[in-house]
Amino acid sequence: MGKKKSVVLMVLLTIVIVVLCALVAFPSVPLGEINRWSPIAERYDFGADLGGGYYTYYYPQGVISETVYVENLSALEGEEADEYEDSYKKFNGLYLSTDVDDGVLNADGEVTETFKTEFEKLAKEVNNRFEKKGYSAYRVAVVDDYALRVEVPKSESQVSEVFTQLSKTGALTIEKGGELVDELKEEDVTVSDLISGFSVATKYKATYLSVKFTSKGKAMVSRVKSELSESSAGSESATTLDIKLDGATVVSIYKDAIVSGNGEARPMALDQTEGHRIETYSIMLNSVLDNEYEISFSDVSDIRTFSPIYGSAVVTLLYIALGVSLLLALVLPIVKMGRFGVVSAYGTLSYFIVAGICFKYITGGVFEFSLGTVFVFLAGLAVMNVLQMQLYGAIKKEFDLGKTVESSVKGAYKKTIWGVVDVYVVLLLAGIVLLFAGAGLFTMALQAIICIVTGAFCNLLWLRGINYTLLSASKDKFKYFRFVREDDDDDE
Amino acid sequence: MTNKCISKTIHKGLWFSIIVGVVLVLSIVFSVIFGVNYAANVGDDKTLTVKMETFFYDNKLEELEDACKDEFDKQGLKVNYTYYGEMSGMNCEVMYVFENASDEKLQSAKAEILSLIDTNTADGGVWHGYVMRVTTSSENANAIPSSYTVKATIVAVVLSLVVGIYVAIRYGVWKGVIACVAPLMAMVFSASIIVLTRIPFTTSVFYAVAVGGLLAEVFTVLTLSKMRGADENEKGEQLVVNGVACKEMLYIGLALGVALLLVGVIATWPVRWFALCALIALDTALYVNLFVVPYALLIVQKCADKKAESKTASGYVGAQKKEDSKE
pLDDT of the residue at B246:
82
Q: What are phi and psi of A168, to 5 degrees?
A: -80, 140
Mean pLDDT of A383-406: 89
Nearest residue to A481 via CA among A426, A427, A404:
A404
Q: What count of other Cβ atoms lies within 10 Å of the Cβ of residue B239?
A: 20
pLDDT band of residue A338 (cuts 50, 70, 90) is confident
Interface probe for B, chosen from A163, A371, A385, A442 (most Cβ of B below 10 Å), is A371
Q: Distance between CA atoms of A410 and A487, rounded to whole angstroms?
A: 22
> What letters, b where the CB count within 10 A reaches 16 and e where it falls short, cover B145-178?
beebbebbeebbeebbebbbebbbebbeebbbeb
Whether residue A304 and residue B86 make contact (CB cut-off 8 A), yes or no, is yes
Q: How buried is residue B220: exposed, middle or buried, by Cβ count under 10 Å (0-12/13-18/19+)?
A: buried
Please tell me what DSSP assigns to residue A168: -
DSSP tally for chain B: helices H, then strands E? 13, 4
Of the partner residues B137, B208, B256, the one whose CB lies closest to the CB of residue A93: B137
pLDDT of the residue at B165:
93
Of the partner residues A67, A321, A372, the one whose CB lies closest to the CB of residue B263: A321
Instruction: Write the pLDDT tens digit of every residue in B266-323.
Output: 666 666 777 888 899 999 999 999 999 999 998 888 888 888 777 766 555 566 665 6
Q: What count of other Cβ atoms lies within 10 Å of the Cβ of residue A157?
A: 13
State percent of chain B over pLDDT 90. Answer: 22
B81: which strand partners?
B97
Whether residue B138 and residue A144 make contact (CB cut-off 8 A), yes or no, is yes
Please tell me what DSSP assigns to residue B11: G
pLDDT band of residue B190 (cuts 50, 70, 90) is very high
Orientation angle between helical segments B293-313 and B173-196, nearest 10 degrees: 160
CA distances from A248 to A170, A173, A282, A390 (A): 10, 10, 16, 65
Q: What residues in A contact B260, CB-CB < 8 Å?
A: 375, 378
Whether residue A440 and residue B158 make contact (CB cut-off 8 A), yes or no, is no
Element (H, E) at A107: none
- Kindly give, in sequence order, each residue whose CB lies less than 8 Å from that of residue A306, ignoring residues fewer than 6 positions away: A52, A53, A54, A55, A151, B83, B84, B85, B86
Q: Distance between CA atoms of B203 and A131, rounded to whole angstroms?
A: 12
Q: Distance between CA atoms of A280 and A293, rounded to whole angstroms?
A: 19
Q: Which of the two residues, B247 and B326, has the higher pLDDT score?
A: B247
- To the nearest whole Å, the CA of B34 is away from the closest chain A CA by 22
Domains of chain B: 3-38+144-309 (1.20.1640.10), 44-141 (3.30.70.1150)
**Lowest mean pLDDT across A90-104, A242-256, B85-99:** B85-99
Mean pLDDT of B167-178: 92
Q: Distance between CA atoms of B210 and A47, rounded to whole angstroms?
A: 18
Q: Which of the two residues, A492 and B67, has the higher pLDDT score?
A: B67
Domain boundaries, chain A: 3-45+311-481, 53-156, 176-300
CA distances from B233 to A124, B71, B238, B297 (A): 63, 77, 10, 18
| Partner B, chain A 419-448, Cβ-Cβ below 8 Å | 419, 422-423, 425-427, 429-431, 433-434, 437-441, 444, 448
Mean pLDDT of A318-343: 85
pLDDT of the residue at A50:
65
Contact A51, A315 (CB under 8 A): yes
* Model confidence at B141: pLDDT above 70: no
pLDDT band of residue B326 (cuts 50, 70, 90) is low
- Kindly give, in sequence order, each residue whose CB lies less than 8 Å from that of residue B156, ignoring residues fewer than 6 positions away: B183, B184, B187, B210, B213
Nearest residue to B213 via CA among A277, A52, A448:
A448
pLDDT of the residue at B60:
87
Mean pLDDT of A366-389: 79
Query: Which parts of chain B are beta strand (E)?
Result: 43-53, 78-85, 91-99, 133-141
pLDDT of the residue at A97:
93
CATH number of A176-300: 3.30.1360
Interface probe for B, chosen from A59, A128, A146, A386 (most Cβ of B below 10 Å), is A386
Whether residue A65 and residue B135 make contact (CB cut-off 8 A), yes or no, is yes
Whether residue A423 and residue B211 make contact (CB cut-off 8 A), yes or no, is no
Highest-pLDDT range among A309-313, A377-381, A481-485: A377-381
Element (H, E) at A270: strand A270-271
Of the partner residues B93, B158, B256, the one whose CB lies closest to the CB of residue A378: B256
Q: What residues in A contact B182, CB-CB < 8 Å?
A: none
Amino acid (1-letter code) at residue B243: G
ipTM score here? 0.76
Nearest residue to B215 via CA among B276, B286, B161:
B286
Instruction: Write the pLDDT tens digit of every residue in A181-190.
Output: 888 888 888 8
- To the nearest whole Å, the CA of A97 is away from the closest chain B CA by 18
CATH number of A3-45+311-481: 1.20.1640.10
Q: How many CB pairs under 8 A join A and B?
A: 221
Nearest residue to A246 via CA among A186, A169, A185:
A169
pLDDT band of residue A281 (cuts 50, 70, 90) is very high
> What letters, b where the CB count within 10 A reaches 16 and e where it falls short, cover A63-89?
bbbbbbbeeebeeeeeeeeeeeeeebb
Long-range contacts, stretch A402-407, CB < 8 angstroms, 24+ apart: A404/A491, A405/A471, A405/A477, A405/A478, A405/A480, A405/A481, A405/A483, A405/A491, A406/A477, A406/A491
Query: Which parts of A187-269 are beta strand (E)?
Result: 195-203, 206-213, 241-245, 248-253, 264-265
Instruction: Write the pLDDT tens digit of every residue in A16-70.
Output: 887 777 776 656 655 666 665 566 656 665 666 666 788 999 999 999 998 889 8
- To the nearest whole Å, the CA of A328 is away from the closest chain B CA by 9
* Model confidence at A286: pLDDT above 90: yes
Element (H, E) at A58: strand A53-58
Q: Distance between CA atoms of B327 and B323, rounded to whole angstroms?
A: 6
Q: Is B263 on the interface with A (CB under 8 A)?
A: yes
- Kindly give, in sequence order, each residue whose CB lies less than 8 Å from that of residue B209, ignoring residues fewer than 6 positions away: B152, B187, B190, B191, B194, B277, B281
Q: Which residue of A has its CA nearest to B249?
A: A386
pLDDT band of residue A364 (cuts 50, 70, 90) is very low
| Partner A, chain B 36-75, Cβ-Cβ below 8 Å | 41-42, 45, 51
